[in-house]
Structure 1
Amino acid sequence: MPRFFNTAGPVNAQDHYCLPPLHRFDLDDILRLIEQKKYFVLHAPRQTGKTSSLLALQAHLNASDQYRCLYCNVEVAQSAREHVERGIKAILGEMADRARTALDDDFLMREHVSLLQFGADKALNFALTRWAEASPLPLIVLMDKIDSLVGDTLIAVLRQLRAGYDQRPAHFPQSVLLCGVRDVRDYRLRTDEGKAVITGGSAFNIKAESLRLGNFSRDDLTALYHQHTEETGQIFEETAIETAWQLTQGQPWLVNALAYETCFRLPTGRDRSQSVTAAMMQEAKERLIARRETHLDQLSDKLKEPRVHGVIAPILAGDTAPEKLLEDDVQYVYDLGLITIQGQLRIANPIYQEVIPRVLTYTTQLTISQEPAWYLAADGRLDMEKLLAAFQQFFREHSEHWVERFEYKEAGPQLLLQAFLQRIINGGGRIEREYGLGRRRTDLLIIWPHGDQTQRVVMELKLQYGTLEQTLQDGLEQTWQYMDRCGTADGHLIIFNRQSDLAWDAKIFHRAAQFDGHPIAIWGM
């Protein structure tokens, strides 16, 4: 059976194109921690290859004849939530079953009585103690999805591991690796009836280090795609590889999903005689976003979390007050894979950068009564003057109502314009977006094919801070710089004035301007 790009579950080299899982992290570093009898954390965003790497690590350690290593997925206990006895029972059952299949060891299967003897607050500790004592080699335990556990069940697991730490390796596992989306310090646990908050760090203060599984490098992406070329003969053009890299920034699920959509779902891509082009990658991206694939749909749930809102909202709005951000919240959103913190805070990649505004304005797009045909010129080009004049009127009449409906009110005007544009652009072109903390603006590039030509329109969105004159001075230069970078002479500067006591007649205007001789249309609202 031919291999394919994997977008669900751990990789299997027989079925999937894949990079060597043990190359995803510093294996020597992990082996050092295990040799030193350390307990540590490996964390990374969802669908980045954590489970694949842990399963490969289990096989590697068991082949070394130095350790007996067990991988277990404790997510089976998530449904127990605060019911500790059910949760611990599920975890012991998962460990016993995995030990039987991976190690041909039924010791834990026979030790189920420990739960009855000692209760949920001791059973896991006792079972691991007895198993370590019976094992001919030091035990290594890899606990996956640890942060899927809830409340007292998670506290019980962490504290029972901590309680046996001083007895390793003769009477307890030599090393335990906890793996999840978040670092253990981000577990916010509430105890019993009083719901007092403790942190995962205090419940598991034996942690030696936290390791993070990163994205693919550009070379990794290229190597993965070349496996498909080697097996099928289908070539990825260099521009296609560059487009995939720019769109995904190496996020593993996106890298695989984009290639799978291109090579296995697009009719042109299924023809192995056809080279994969940049245009095919762009089409695949649009299809993934439109279908709201599970990975992308999870973004909408995360965006509702207050800690995520507190970081993403000022990025969408181009806020200039990073002192408002809490360091722990920034780290948390980074650990979720939603942002990059190198230099300026930004959304992690252009696909997420496009998905987030679409998710936040989805119902708005559905209820805006606008049709693309209303704004098409005779030659098929978008009539931007007509379109933006219509939005001015729409904004004047409806902005107070619509902005209040947004969860992210801080970026309400920018989001409303993007919803309006998305309604028009859907199906005929695309919008590329750039925004980030401290930029004081949102850059939009509309790409609209018509006939054998492509219309490119730059729009610079700014909230008015201070005087209109200063906003215009900064905005015109910024708009021209973006026009120059995008290679277009069609540029529009949109200025939103949020002063509630200013009359609409003073806010609404349209004028022509220039920057260094280059015409730019200005729209106030």
Structure 2
Amino acid sequence: MKTFNTAGPSIPGDHYMLDPLARIDLTEIEALIDAKRYFVLHAPRQTGKTTALLALMHHLNAQGRYRCAYANIEGAQAARGDETQGIPAACSAIARSIEDYTGEAAVHRWYRETGVHIEPQDRLTALLRHWAQLDAKPAVLFLDEVDALVGDTLISLLRQIRAGYAQRPEAFPQTVVLCGVRDVRDYRIHSGGEIITGGSAFNIKAVSLRLSNFSRAECEQLWQQHEAETGQTFDPAIYPELWADTEGQPWLVNALGHELTWNMRELRDRSRPITLTHYWQARENLIQSRATHLDQLTDKLREPRVHRVMSALLASEEPVTLADISPDDKQYVEDLGLIVTRPQIRIANRIYREVIPRELTWVAQSYITHEQPWYLRADRRLDIPKLLTAFQQFFREHSEAWIEGFDYKEAGPQLLMQAFLQRIVNGGGRIQREYGLGRRRTDLLIEWPLDEQQGFFGPVQRVVIELKLYRKGSLDTLIAEGLTQTADYADKAGADEAHLVIFDRRPGIAWEDKIWQRSEAVRSAVDGGSGDGARTIRGDTGPRTIGVWGC
């Protein structure tokens, strides 16, 4: 029985999978190998790199023109910067892999008998030289998890490969492909008190190729394999949600499929169709599971390079352009899969937008004592004014201490609000979040089903809460801007209630002056339908009342 794969390379007989060779530019890669080029193939974690590399290796070996081996050298990471331990570990993994994938036992035997006595600074060069000279057929090597290595171990590996480059293909592999999460140019190698870049240590790289996410059509094709295999159907309404949640990130697509078809035990009955309600439950289960993939991503949030980019996104405070962020930092965070930069820089997908603030406020949520029933009215609607009034007092009492404890202090007020709301909404509704550089706001959309039996298929209370920071300038101008933005977002979201929260971050302002509330009537700007993108004032539905709250 096939399953959705969430760990390790996909195996054709065991897993639903797309053709790995169709996910790469096979013609381009074959041309690079024929031209004796050394290059990089990189992609975020768990996007199918290893599956693609193994398929490519088998493809090349089946053609018979090359001897191709794949080696994962992540084990050498344990040596950290000690090349006397790291290089032997990498060489041992490579020698074993050559035997496993090409059948050339002589290479592993030579390494055990002779190679282990060569100094680590030359051992990798000698190993690859010996392998290349064993046969007239050129050798091709795929090295995976190269960027897991650090310090002198990584420098030595890159420089030993570079040292043999001129002898290819007669006395060195015709092509070496470095694989990992990052492009080699993003390697920052600390050695002897200096920082050496990967580009300088490996200046023989011809090109960097990136493995992309699934397309929207490929997401559907993958899930439809389950339908064909088992006869169990997915509601077509699921697919737009799947795309919005994942934007084709392969692990997320597979993990949601696995959650639906296996972890949700009642759906192991293949006669039961899978509905949109099931999908929403699977999505929430996955987010709350804190799965390894999601934990690895959120762990990266503590890195300074990631922090600089993500804090700007989460705060969404000032008009920021790509020019204001270091291109190297931006590229690094994009390579990790946390953001996309086109058409504008933003968090990569809807699930990551949900997971990141939850993870950053996980401890805060657990200490918030407010309970959901306190804010439920008799008609099962959330009493948002009561909730926001309670938040004002909560923020007054706790914000200084709690924000100081956040890793992302720049976005502290927004994160604390989200932690408070998540505590109340968990288990009944959901919160959608929108951030973006230059938007100068954070948009939250609360969706709360009013009928527990019908869930999101029945009537739903939709509430927009927009968050803005006030540091300087005119408060009236900030509110006017915020009201227009809030009304616009509420119209797009189909919300029947909207609120604007202003966090006053000016120093020396008394809490009595920060805490206030009022209501404003606003006409919303919507597309007038002229086709030229012009904005007009919608007058047919009358003004919208928006609550404005000071904190």
TM range (shorter): over 0.9
Is contact 2:461-2:496 (8 Å) kept?
A: no
Return the offset for 1:334: 0.2
Is residue 2:545 matched to residue 1:519? yes
SS in 1 for 2:190: strand
1:35 corresponds to? 34
Return the offset for 1:101: 1.9
User: In structure 1, how many angstroms separate the alpha carbons of the residues matched to 2:489 and 2:194?
Assistant: 51
2:460 corresponds to? 454
CA gap 1:148/1:332 in 2 versus in 1, 3 angstroms: same
User: In structure 1, how many angstroms separate the alpha carbons of the residues matched to 2:228 and 2:130?
Assistant: 50
Is residue 2:497 matched to residue 1:490? yes
SS in 2 for 1:69: strand
Q: TM (normalized to structure 2)?
A: 0.93
Return the offset for 1:116: 4.6
Is contact 2:141-2:176 (8 Å) kept?
A: yes
Return the offset for 1:278: 2.3
User: In structure 2, how many angstroms separate the alpha carbons of the residues matched to 1:467 and 1:262?
Assistant: 50
Is residue 2:407 matched to residue 1:416? no
SS in 1 for 2:479: helix
User: In structure 2, how many angstroms separate the alpha carbons of the residues matched to 1:130 and 1:367?
Assistant: 61
Is residue 2:22 matched to residue 1:23? yes
Return the offset for 1:220: 0.6
Is contact 2:95-2:107 (8 Å) kept?
A: yes
Q: Alpha carbon RMSD of aligned pairs, Å? A: 1.2
Note the alpha carbon deviations across 1:383-436, whole angstroms, 9 max, x for none.
Answer: 111100000111112111111111101111100100111111111111110111
Is residue 2:51 matched to residue 1:52? yes
Correspondence 1:58-207 to 2 at 5 A: 58-112=57-111, 113-191=113-191, 194-207=192-205
Is contact 1:40-1:177 (8 Å) kept?
A: yes
Note the alpha carbon deviations across 1:135-194, whole angstroms, 9 max, x for none.
Answer: 230000000011111211111111010000000000100000000000001111122xx3
Paired AA for residue 388 in structure 2: L
User: In structure 2, how many angstroms separate the alpha carbons of the residues matched to 1:494 and 1:270?
Assistant: 45
Note the alpha carbon deviations across 1:333-392, whole angstroms, 9 max, x for none.
Answer: 000000000032100000000000001100001111111111111122111111000001
Return the offset for 1:281: 1.7
Is residue 2:294 matched to residue 1:296? yes
From 254, 259, 262, give the equivalent of 2:260.
262
User: In structure 1, how many angstroms separate the alpha carbons of the residues matched to 2:265 and 2:142?
Assistant: 42
SS in 2 for 1:16: coil
Paired AA for residue 123 in structure 1: R
SS in 2 for 1:63: helix
2:316 corresponds to? 318
User: In structure 1, how many angstroms separate the alpha carbons of the residues matched to 2:178 and 2:345?
Assistant: 28
1:468 corresponds to? 475
2:327 corresponds to? 327
Return the offset for 1:503: 1.8
User: In structure 2, how many angstroms separate the alpha carbons of the residues matched to 1:226 and 1:413?
Assistant: 43
User: In structure 2, how many angstroms separate the alpha carbons of the residues matched to 1:123 and 1:419?
Assistant: 53
SS in 2 for 1:493: strand
Is contact 1:5-1:256 (8 Å) kept?
A: yes
Q: TM (normalized to structure 1)?
A: 0.97
1:442 corresponds to? 442
User: In structure 1, how many angstroms separate the alpha carbons of the residues matched to 2:289 and 2:481?
Assistant: 38
User: In structure 2, how many angstroms separate the alpha carbons of the residues matched to 1:458 and 1:271?
Assistant: 38
Unaligned 5+ segments in structure 2 are 524-542
Between the aligned residues of both structures, percent identity stands at: 54
User: In structure 2, how many angstroms separate the alpha carbons of the residues matched to 1:262 and 1:164?
Assistant: 50
Note the alpha carbon deviations across 1:185-241, whole angstroms, 9 max, x for none.
Answer: 1111122xx321110110000000000001000011011011011111112222101
Return the offset for 1:117: 4.2
Note the alpha carbon deviations across 1:442-474, whole angstroms, 9 max, x for none.
Answer: 111111123253211111111125211111111
Return the offset for 1:271: 2.9
Is contact 2:136-2:170 (8 Å) kept?
A: no
SS in 2 for 1:356: helix
Correspondence 1:280-291 to 2 at 5 A: 280-291=278-289
Is contact 1:236-1:277 (8 Å) kept?
A: yes
Paired AA for residue 233 in structure 2: I
Correspondence 1:355-394 to 2 at 5 A: 355-394=355-394
CA gap 1:287/1:16 in 2 versus in 1, 3 angstroms: same
SS in 2 for 1:238: coil
Is contact 2:235-2:274 (8 Å) kept?
A: yes
